[in-house]
A and B are shown apart, each in its own frame.
Chain A
Amino acid sequence: MTAATTALTPTQQAALIRKLTALADDEIILAHRGGEWTGHAPILEEDIALANIAQDELGHAGLYLELRRALDGSDPDRLAFFRGAPEYTCARLVELPKGDWAFTMLRQFLFDASEALWLEAATRSTYAPLAEVAAKAVREEKFHLQHTALWVERLALGTGESERRLQAALDELWPHAAQLFQPVEGEEELVQAGLLPDLNAVHTRWQALVTRQLIEKCGLKLPAAFPDPAGRDTHTEHLAPLLAEMQSVARAHPEAETW
């Protein structure tokens, strides 16, 4: 890691830690949901694909938490495995149960599109360590997006049943997707300083990309969305059981070298 090009004020540092943690938490929780398909996916190739995607997501979470470690010395493993639901800052979109295949693929597509576009913009961050991480991760993310974009298309244009399920998934997920573009406390200042991508600009590009794919190509209908304004400290009832399972080994053997 090269040294940061910018000296951060304490306020900026706290906001950056919040943002990095939120990014990592989204990746960790969605990776776990993806991992729940292992051994259960409709076909072997998709079992492998989702495992690959989840592995990449954990890799990205690791990159973000290493950036946080450089700021406050925190241990990525402790953050992942020893925080409870109230301390997690993931978006509610990623907490929802895995649902059916259409739900899984559509959620992954909405998330991948936002991550790919955010990372692409983050490659121009004036905070050098983040720009480095983004340049690395965006190359991996594009494969996720290609994969899930194709699946969404397949399901939408497949059978009446697959289209019905995909539309139902969109109706349920669309209001939650807006939370991905909700800034963390202090984010605006970091955007002004050039450290973080402009979330509104990323949101606009994301809207265009997903609309092109879902509406124009797939013929789905966008539901009227009423996004829940609650922040990343508010969770669904699904997060605590997920963490209980995900953290069970680490909490049973806290002194183990690795899990």
Chain B
Amino acid sequence: MVDGRWVMEKDGEPSTINDLPSTVWKALAAVPDPEIPVVSITDMGMVREVAVDGGRVIVTFTPTFSGCPALHVIRDSIEQAVRDLGVAEVEVRSTLTPPWTTDWINDDARERLRQYGIAPPAPAEHGLIQLDVEPTRCPRCGSLNVRMTASFGPTLCKRMYVCDACREPFEGFKSV
């Protein structure tokens, strides 16, 4: 705060309160997903809204998986990232509506997941409950000749595969 105004560095220029939401978005874009540090919580589509009410910032986020143990870490990280901007009053709210879907993971993040060795999620289909699974591509060689070796993996959001073309094992994102 300088003379009662928000002053923040934005592209090297001091900016005022009008840009606070975009400054907050930018800060949150630097908060990594604790389990997949190559992507941020905004990349994953977990941050749904940033609202500014006087000097108060309200961030609304949505959980990826309801049992995800990283949720409280993410909540604390959001609060800390906003406080680091010099904001004294921060409220982090969670919402379930609309429910998080892997369709919200942006293209840039999908590419980073792939380079990291994780097959990005296929488009999610929210129809009737089906017992069949969606096709997956090897993140290394692009082949569709892959086998799922485990339908659950090291985190709630991933499964394990092996590629029969390049012989490499890899993790794949579930489509939800």
Instruction: Please measure, in the bound complex, the distance between the C-alpha atom of A116 and the C-alpha atom of B101, giving whole angstroms.
Output: 18
Residues 154-169 (chain B) with a chain A CB within 8 angstroms: 154, 156, 160
Instruction: Please measure, in the bound complex, the distance between the C-alpha atom of A139 and the C-alpha atom of B98, giving whole angstroms.
Output: 12
Say which one of A16-24, A59-67, A186-194 lies at the interface with B: A59-67
A59 B66 Cβ-Cβ under 8 A: yes
Name the residue in B67, B132, B160, B176 with the highest tally of chain A Cβ atoms < 10 Å from its Cβ. B67
B133 touches A (CB below 8 Å): yes
Instruction: Please measure, in the bound complex, the distance between the C-alpha atom of A252 and the C-alpha atom of B151, giving whole angstroms.
Output: 37
Instruction: Please measure, in the bound complex, the distance between the C-alpha atom of A3 and the C-alpha atom of B174, giving whole angstroms.
Output: 31
A15 touches B (CB below 8 Å): no
Contacts of B130 in A (CB 8 A): 142, 146
User: A136-B96, A139-B176, A145-B131 known; A48 and B152 CB under 8 Å?
Assistant: yes
Instruction: Please measure, in the bound complex, the distance between the C-alpha atom of A255 and the C-alpha atom of B85, giving whole angstroms.
Output: 35
Contacts of A51 in B (CB 8 A): 152
A116 B150 Cβ-Cβ under 8 A: no
Of the candidates A117, A140, A145, which one forms a contact with B65 in the assembled complex, judged by CB atoms under 8 Å apart? A140
A52 B131 Cβ-Cβ under 8 A: no
Residues 72-107 (chain B) with a chain A CB within 8 angstroms: 95-101
B68 touches A (CB below 8 Å): yes
Question: Interface on chain B toward A: helix, strand, loop, or mixed SS?
Answer: loop
Name the residue in A55, A57, A59, A139 with the highest tally of chain B Cβ atoms < 10 Å from its Cβ. A139
B96 A135 Cβ-Cβ under 8 A: yes
Closest to B93 in A: A1
Contacts of B101 in A (CB 8 A): 139
B69 touches A (CB below 8 Å): yes
Of the candidates B96, B100, B133, B154, which one forms a contact with A48 in the assembled complex, judged by CB atoms under 8 Å apart? B154
Of the candidates A2, A57, A62, A138, which one forms a contact with B97 in the assembled complex, judged by CB atoms under 8 Å apart? A2
User: In the assembled complex, how far is the CB of residue B130 from the closest CB belonging to chain A, in whole angstroms?
Assistant: 7
A45 B66 Cβ-Cβ under 8 A: no
Instruction: Please measure, in the bound complex, the distance between the C-alpha atom of A49 and the C-alpha atom of B158, giving whole angstroms.
Output: 11
B5 touches A (CB below 8 Å): no
Instruction: Please measure, in the bound complex, the distance between the C-alpha atom of A51 and the C-alpha atom of B150, giving whole angstroms.
Output: 13
Instruction: Please measure, in the bound complex, the distance between the C-alpha atom of A63 and the C-alpha atom of B95, giving whole angstroms.
Output: 12
Contacts of A132 in B (CB 8 A): 96-97, 99
Residues 121-138 (chain A) with a chain B CB within 8 angstroms: 132-133, 135-138
A120 B129 Cβ-Cβ under 8 A: yes
A56 touches B (CB below 8 Å): yes
Instruction: Please measure, in the bound complex, the distance between the C-alpha atom of A1 and the C-alpha atom of B62, giving whole angstroms.
Output: 11
User: A132-B97, A132-B99, A135-B96 known; A147 and B152 CB under 8 Å?
Assistant: yes
B69 A55 Cβ-Cβ under 8 A: yes
Instruction: Please measure, in the bound complex, the distance between the C-alpha atom of A136 and the C-alpha atom of B160, giving whole angstroms.
Output: 23
Residues 106-132 (chain B) with a chain A CB within 8 angstroms: 124, 126, 128-132
> Given A49-B151, A139-B124, A140-B65, list of 12 further CB < 8 A pairs?
A1-B95, A53-B152, A55-B69, A56-B66, A59-B65, A60-B67, A62-B66, A62-B67, A132-B97, A132-B99, A135-B96, A150-B151
| A interface residue numbers (CB < 8 A to B) | 1-2, 45, 48-49, 51-53, 55-60, 62-63, 116-117, 120, 132-133, 135-140, 142-143, 145-147, 149-150
What are some 29 contacts across the A-B interface (CB < 8 A)?
A45-B150, A45-B152, A48-B153, A48-B154, A52-B152, A55-B69, A56-B67, A57-B67, A62-B67, A63-B66, A63-B96, A120-B129, A132-B96, A132-B99, A135-B97, A136-B99, A139-B176, A140-B66, A140-B156, A142-B129, A143-B151, A145-B129, A146-B131, A146-B132, A146-B151, A147-B152, A149-B131, A150-B131, A150-B151
Smallest CB-CB A-B distances: 10 pairs = A59-B67, A59-B66, A45-B150, A52-B152, A49-B152, A55-B67, A132-B96, A136-B99, A139-B176, A147-B151
